Structure 1
């Protein structure tokens, strides 16, 4: 069996010392950047991590937010939503998670020195929309028009949402197989995302569902992105499924973007195993170039209580289980079988904690 490689991007939200949620209404770029400035920089990371043009993404930690430019194209600031952690690329799920845990603990210890504590959320607990202030200038509007469809039309949505990008690649995989795997994951996304649901709150209240993040985001934004090395396999779709690699380390990557966030990184291990099994699977027929918005909203509202979601989740999990039968990552699927049998998601635990508080 050809080896896989794994990497994680995990967005961390924060509370201020006084209990306010730290977001674009009360936190400046400089407030978070002082934390990042104290974190280490590793020269060898340039082989693994794309740095971008603005200089914000130099480290494993960087400010995630909305970049603002002057009319002449100079970067003015980045309106912050949190701090993102990126891991380097690893040959095992365990090694990727080990680095994530180490980076996460270092971030929390440094942030605490400035009065910040982590907020385990997948959607902003207070704000319901982000509107750039001041309005976009001519340069920014022109720049936005040249971006991908989701960056052009829905760039405000990520300012409210928090979640991981779970990336995997398989050396030697053809561009055709990469696009096929990404379209399979896109098709089954509404049925596997409930394993991660953790955003049952909206505008300070209990939302009548399990994932407001999924309801608001997936469909308008990608569930999966893949970076095939052959440009002939780049597809035109809205939202985007395929993208030209911007860094050598992105070549061959399949990036799943639809899961809710979790501070229990063992859940990420289970979800990684599920994705790996689905990539290896040769039995499932479903394929989609763009995520089905309606199916994601049904899943976001009802989770595994919906008969269709429940049935297709079983199909996907069994297919992954069979594909990983002789793989050491096979045992990582056990928590997902338990969740599905009980029709439970992490959101159910959050709601019970809220009611009993």
Structure 2
């Protein structure tokens, strides 16, 4: 029975819709319009030990405008093209605490957006357009800045994707153990992500698959990232597996980045419990330093409908359950997740069904 204590955090990306339900993105949104919403939400100095503000000061609150920043030739901020909004929780000592914090902050955000004729929708991939075009092309300063890391180099990809960062850490994990966990989660990512799939639309129509986000993103960008201390050796990889922590609260953080954005925050809680079990597990042998892009693309099309994928996900649920013995709350959440798995459910399946029934889903108007 494990007594290891974990801490948890959630980072949740949302797309924006207008009052009539139409989808809004960098082609029709102004950064200033979304920032005006963030400006009226409360700022809490107690957030800062846990949350990074960033160089430009855009991330001063638990809510912030997510986008792609453009700079002048001397590195001065010119503009930020918005893709949507993000909510970040503080670090919590329980999964329940992180989920409850996200739900409360979502409620506050939605109320302020509604006043301005806006709302949020949760979808894993921009349903209208598959690419963000960098216009004008990067200048010399921007090129140097964006080529500084694999993640900066591929930052434009995130402009059409929406996903969470599910964070967990344990104080007694050293750098070697963190790297090993990161490699384990990277290896098993193709069998984890189908539980979250929520991007069945692409270029204004239903796509031939369940996660356009996974198809386009994972492999070029990390599945898992671990944050190490300044004296810990970094692993050279493209995309990155490790990163030097940018503030003290990040040291030791395991960040799983490959899930699609989930409409139900409770699903995030269930997935955090699954990740907890996989961190505690000592039986699973698979390890990879970078994600298997081809396998992710295959799984993105078929999800849990495929018997082999379904079986692989079931093996991970079994391993996590064994490792979570003595942790009843985590086991309860894992039980709920197992029920979704048994029914081969993911949010994308429901989204397609609603669209087929004629409902507006993620800004797209369905038709019979």
Aligned partner (choices 64, 78, 81) of residue 79 of structure 1: 81
Per-residue CA deviations over 1:61-113 (Å, capped at 9, x if unaligned) read 11110011111111111110111100000000001111111100000001111
- What are the equivalent positions in structure 2 for 1:59-208 lying under 5 Å apart? 59-146=61-148, 148-152=149-153, 154-208=154-208
Aligned to 1:13: 15
Aligned residue for 2:46? 44
Distance 1:343 1:115 in 2: 36
For 1:228-283, what per-residue CA distance to the aligned partner results, in whole angstroms no more than 9, with x for missing partners? 22644310101001000001111000000011111211101110000000000000
Structure 1 length as normaliser, TM-score? 0.97
Cα distance in 2 for residues equivalent to 1:274 and 1:155: 28
In 1, Cα distance between equivalents of 2:98 and 2:21: 32
Q: Which residue of 1 aligns with 2:300?
A: 300
Corresponding position of 1:221: 221
Q: Which aligned pairs between 1:259-298 and structure 2 lie closer than 5 A?
A: 259-298=259-298
Aligned match of 2:334: 333
Aligned partners of 2:241, 2:119: CA distance in 1, in Å?
Answer: 35
- Over the aligned positions, Cα root-mean-square deviation in angstroms equals 1.1
Structure 2: distance between partners of 1:294 and 1:74: 38
| Residue of structure 2 equivalent to 1:356 | 357
Greater shift in the superposed pair: 132-141 or 29-38: 132-141
**C-alpha distance in 1 between matches for 2:286 and 2:299:** 17
C-alpha distance in 2 between matches for 1:306 and 1:164: 24
Moved over 6 A (4+): none
Give 3-state SS (helix, strand or coil) of 2:213's partner: helix
Q: Could you say which residue in structure 1 is the equivalent of 2:363?
A: none
- Report the CA distance between 1:133 and its aligned residue: 1.7
Any stretches of 5+ residues in structure 2 without a counterpart? Answer: 359-368
| Equivalent residues of 1:15, 1:21 under 8 A apart | yes
Query: How far apart are residue 145 of structure 1 and its match?
Result: 1.8
Structure 1 partner of 2:362: none
User: TM-score, normalised on structure 2?
Assistant: 0.94
Give SS of 2:278's match.
helix
For structure 1, the 5+ residue unaligned runs are: none
Using the alignment, how far apart are the partners of 1:111 and 1:185 within structure 2? 36
Range moving further from structure 2, 330-339 or 272-281: 330-339
Aligned length: 355
**Alignment correspondent of 1:347:** 348
